[in-house]
Amino acid sequence: MWTRIDRAFDSLCGGTLQEVPTSHSYWEQPFTQPYFDNSTKREVTTTVGQSAYLHCRVRNLGDRAVSWIRKRDLHILTAALLTYTNDQRFQSLHSDGSDEWTLKIASPQLRDAGTYECQVSTEPKISQAFKLNVVVSQAEILGKNEIYIKSGSDINLTCVVRETPEPPSFIYWYRGNNVINYSQRGGISVMTEKQTRTSRLLIARALPADSGNYTCAPSSSHAASVMVHVLNGEHPAAMQKGNSSSSNQGAALGVFQPLVLSYALHYMIVLR
């Protein structure tokens, strides 16, 4: 389509303008060079031992190859589906017909944290950086490390999983080396809220036989333990306090006795 400006320019320059069909305009030419789809996460956080996945999405790849490079030492980890490192924890994942090339890092350690590059073999090469964070996830049983309760009271333990990007798949409770058996005793319940990092263990009407080392063990975190004592008698702290009082009384009596003896001797001398 000719515009008035085109005709005016043609008139002023004394030349002719050739109309370029709209369907062949530059902006509507298909974009054939590879480019990165930025819809994937560029920063990933995982816990020690839990596999990490870095997803790189490349459009219009054609016959080019995708490589994964560790930035800190420029080590080529994978090229296409081949692995170029002796560390077999690194693996390239790709499905036919997919634009996604994924670097899998199995059982990551703290040393694996850092920047990784997804590189395409164009000329010049293009690359996209991904950051991997590796954290140590730790379970914690709230309260003291050693608990004393009276027989017939409830054992109520709350376990919180900290420093984890995702809730654990499961949380097991142990007494000693054995998973707690809910059906064997009765009165035992565990409440682990979905999509949360908290689990609660309740043992109703605890008996001395329920004493032991209780452990909260999440699927992808370090476990936490607490020692529980179920006693028929009084609290050890109270017993210790009672013994302390008796000792204080004995000490006071020990100080008072010499004074009494001294007074008695003095009285006997006066009478003579």
CA distance 200 to 193: 9
pLDDT at 192: 87
More confident residue, 256 or 66: 66
CA distance 81 to 102: 10
CA distance 122 to 119: 9
12, pLDDT greater than 60: no
Fold of 138-231: Immunoglobulin-like (2.60.40)
What does each C-alpha distance from 175 to 62, 200, 213 come to in angstroms?
Answer: 58, 14, 6
Name the phi and psi angles at 124, rounded to 5: -75, 165
Name the phi and psi angles at 263, rounded to 5: -65, -40
pLDDT at 150: 96
pTM higher than the cut 0.75: no
pLDDT at 8: 38
Pairing of strands 114-120, 126-135: antiparallel
- Single out the residue of 228, 203, 212 nearest to residue 144, CA to CA: 228
Residues 6+ apart with CB under 8 A from 158: 141, 142, 143, 198, 199, 200, 201
- Single out the residue of 204, 187, 135, 203 nearest to residue 166, CA to CA: 135
Question: In the chain, which residue ranges form alpha helices assigned H by DSSP?
Answer: 4-13, 182-185, 236-271
245, pLDDT greater than 50: no
pLDDT at 205: 94
Per-domain residue ranges of the chain: 35-135, 138-231
What does each C-alpha distance from 207 to 76, 152, 153, 202, 229 come to in angstroms?
Answer: 60, 6, 8, 13, 9
pLDDT at 13: 46
**Is 35-135's fold the same as 138-231's?**
yes
Kindly report the CATH number that applies to the domain delimited by 35-135: 2.60.40.10
pLDDT in tens, 145-197: 999 999 999 999 999 999 888 888 899 999 999 999 776 678 899 998 777 78
